[in-house]
Amino acid sequence: KQEVTQIPAALSVPEGENLVLNCSFTDSAIYNLQWFRQDPGKGLTSLLLIQSSQREQTSGRLNASLDKSSGRSTLYIAASQPGDSATYLCAAPFSGGYNKLIFGAGTRLAVHP
Amino acid sequence: EAGVTQFPSHSVIEKGQTVTLRCDPISGHDNLYWYRRVMGKEIKFLLHFVKESKQDESGMPNNRFLAERTGGTYSTLKVQPAELEDSGVYFCASSQEKGYNEQFFGPGTRLTVL
């Protein structure tokens, strides 16, 4: 069964801390992996997309890595800020599913001043 | 460039009524997707259009749900008749051309069935 799992479900950190969010997937035959941010009551904002041939992508203070062989992706947030507080979701299209995204349940992040 | 838009943002209806949700994708995006999140669960895929054709509708829960994309532009998702378990947030996304491209999501429509 094709599944995406995110750990931890929730995380609370003080401002300025570097942190890592984890995403694991059951099938290495993914075409890419996309990280999203969702603010309460809002839609999903695409943060980073890593193609299956890539190892990592960076955007500002965000760095996402992908290790297909181990079925893992991480989202690294440097120098966290209160404005980073949101739910972070990872999702991937698996082989045989065209571009249908399978989502994890998300990690709810709170960065406190 | 305008993003994906959805209408309405909220809808509250009685069980047995009909509701139609609308999605306008990013201009020029051939691919349009519908997803939903029901209470406490992960976001789940419903279906995928390529232009006006249904590429994959494997996630549609039952025949009370009907999606259309006339002319390959905006899409509608009709629920008729609505049931309590249809409550949730319905998201629309779009992506360019063919292949495994980045998907851009709309703000969602929150549907409450009473």
- For A51-102, what is each residue's pLDDT tens digit? 988 999 999 999 999 999 999 999 999 999 999 999 999 999 887 767 899 9
Cis-peptide, bond into residue B8, ω within 30° of zero:
yes
Of A34, A89, A105, the CB nearest to B102: A34
- For B57, the token pair is 């509708």
pLDDT at A22: 97
User: Which pLDDT belongs to residue A99?
Assistant: 85
A 58-77: CB under 8 A from B: none
**Hey, is B86 helix, strand or coil?**
helix
CB–CB of B103 and A45 under 8 A? no
The confidence band for B1, taking pLDDT boundaries of 50, 70 and 90, is low
Q: Is the pLDDT of residue B47 over 80?
A: yes
Span B80-99, average pLDDT: 92
- The DSSP element (H or E) to which B11 belongs, if any, is strand B10-13
Banded pLDDT at B2 (limits 50, 70, 90): confident
Answer for the pair B35, B90: CB distance below 8 angstroms, yes or no. yes
| Whether the predicted pLDDT of A111 surpasses 90 | yes
Which of B41, B42, B98, B110 to mutate against chain A (most A CBs within 10 Å)?
B42
Alpha carbon distance B37, A70 (integer Å) = 28
- CA distance linking residue A49 with residue B44, whole number of Å: 19
Using a CB–CB cutoff of 8 Å, tell me whether A5 touches chain B.
Answer: no
Q: How confident is the model at residue A104 (pLDDT cuts 50, 70, 90)?
A: very high
Q: Chain A contacts of B56, Cβ < 8 Å?
A: 97-98, 100
* Nearest residue in B to A31, CA atom: B100
Within 8 A of A105 by CB-CB distance, chain B residues are 42
Q: Do B100 and A32 touch (CB under 8 A)?
A: yes
pLDDT at B8 over 90: yes
DSSP state of B15: T
What gap in Å lies between CA B103 and CA A24, rounded to an integer?
20
- Nearest residue on chain A to B47, alpha-carbon basis: A100
Q: Are residues A65 and A73 in contact, defined by beta-carbon separation less than 8 angstroms?
A: yes
Tens digits of residue pLDDT in A13-61: 999 999 999 999 997 788 899 999 999 888 999 999 999 889 999 999 9
Whether A48 and chain B come into contact, CB under 8 Å, resolves to: no
Is residue A35 within 8 Å of residue A64, measured between CB atoms? yes
Three-class DSSP category at A110:
strand
Q: How far is B16 from chain A (nearest CA, A)?
A: 26
Q: For residue B96, what pLDDT is reported? A: 87
Chain A contact present for B96, CB below 8 A: no
Give percent of chain A with pLDDT exceeding 70: 99
